[in-house]
Amino acid sequence: MSAPPQQYYDDGLVQLDRHALTLRRYHFPSGTSKVIPVRSIRGYKAEPLGMWMQRFRLWGSSDLRRWLPLDMYRPVKSTLITLDVPGTYPSPAFTPVKPREFVAVLDEVLG
């Protein structure tokens, strides 16, 4: 029996291990998770969270290019991560609690 994958990052809403990135409370209205295999992530963009466009968007999309999972604490967060996943529209985007730590781990996992 194999051991479960080691979790490299988990803040309650975003979980990353060597096999997949899981965005909890992603799908509307069910609130189910979206699991993205690491091998399908082509890249990402980390940027400061906009003052109006994404900061107060608690769930969904305000620009139709990105989809954000439910996050009640997004207004007090600082960094928006947008994933480049071919064949996925709109692009998955999220606000990790510890963005520097998450980006460092994602860079390591993506190689």
Instruction: Give mean pLDDT, residues 100-105.
Output: 96
Structure tokens at 101: 């730590």
Note the pLDDT tens digit of each residue in 23-74. Answer: 999 999 999 999 999 999 999 999 998 776 678 889 988 888 999 999 999 9
As given in the structure block, the two tokens for residue 92 are 């998955």
In whole angstroms, give the CA distance from residue 89 to residue 65. 7
Any residues with CB less than 8 A from the CB of 101 and at least 6 apart, and which? 9
CB atoms inside a 10 Å sphere around CB 64? 9
Say if residue 110's pLDDT is above 60.
yes
